[in-house]
Amino acid sequence: MSAMTDTAAWTPAQPKPADALRAEAAIEPDPVHTGEATKDTQIIAIYGKGGIGKSFTLANLSYMMAQQGKKTLLIGCDPKSDTTSLLFGGRSTPTIIETSSKKKLAGEEVTIGDVCFKRDGVFAMELGGPEVGRGCGGRGIIHGFETLEKLGFHDWDFDYVLLDFLGDVVCGGFGLPIARDMCQKVIVVGSNDLQSLYVANNVCSAVEYFRKLGGNVGVAGMVINKDDGTGEAHAFAEKVGIPVLAAIPADEDIRRKSANYEIIGKPDGQWGPLFGELGTNVAEAPPMHPTPLTHDELLGLFKSEETGADFMLQPATFEDMCGVDYVEKPSLEVIYDEV
């Protein structure tokens, strides 16, 4: 007997899977908490292109900030759930979405100990995401934060809360901290490549867009990862008007240790001073108003032969679309002479 898929199991009495996903994505999140804050906590959202190293940066940054005496909470908001894996030596943690679903089926409530874990003073948790094809990732982020609020998020006693967000995705859930003033400032992680700076520029554009709508979030600066010294990321930061908080070099020792889930942001380690300075800069950098670049300005940071910026667009013709043997046929349209 062949296994029955979700689609095959659908009956006319049930909503179609596609309709159910659209309905889920269209649900508005609960209103943002507006009560009086019980502690002056800095909430910082870190955005970057997938694979650029933001989870590596955040795992080491959060560890260093804890060693500096700052009570720090790291929340992974990327469906890949790789932030805490780096912090916990490759060990994955139960995600909030996964745990919430299991507890709901069992008729139980989620507790802090189910989803939050700690290492050497750093507290960390993962929001997670739905299974492939079974839900909206952005809606999953929203659901995760709603669960955090039920767990008392606004009463927790932390100096810093770091949110690890995927920057490639622009749907509502991933833009939640910027759109709804859930954080005070944003930090972008990029490198000397066009795609990561394109994402960083998009994040700056989002911050400015919501500022015009009355938002208060600003960009505190940029972390350059895998810096090979070519200078494009530094030029980008200067042009949009944000500081470079740290430049992490493209170093084989860093690459190897990161691949082995090893924390390098330790005060007594080789890279301790680098991450120590980053921890201080992240804490002290004020939120700023960036000036996003146009696409042509972004391309202008790179040599034209590297980006294809000097390529001239050649319009296609109808003959191209129909093939080389295309024969123009007389029109059957009737045209009347003007009286």
147's CB contacts (< 8 A; 6+ apart) are: 96, 97, 100, 110
- Tokens coding 258: 């990161």
DSSP H/E element including 163:
strand 160-166
Residue of 54, 70, 185, 257 with catalytic role: 54
Length of the chain, in residues = 339
User: Residue 253, exposed/middle/buried by CB under 10 A (0-12, 13-18, 19+)?
Assistant: exposed
Q: How far apart are CA 268 and CA 120, in angstroms?
A: 14
Catalytic: 39?
no
Catalytic: 80?
yes
Q: How far apart are CA 244 and CA 33, in angstroms?
A: 32
Catalytic: 168?
yes
Specify the amino acid at residue 89: G
**How far is residue 322 from each of residues 12, 59, 86, 210, 318, measured CA to CA in Å?**
42, 55, 54, 46, 6
Catalytic: 239?
no
Residue of 49, 70, 185, 226 with catalytic role: 49
151's CB contacts (< 8 A; 6+ apart) are: 110, 111, 112, 115
- Tokens coding 26: 């269209």
Residue of 159, 168, 193, 251 with catalytic role: 168
Residues noted as catalytic:
49, 54, 80, 168
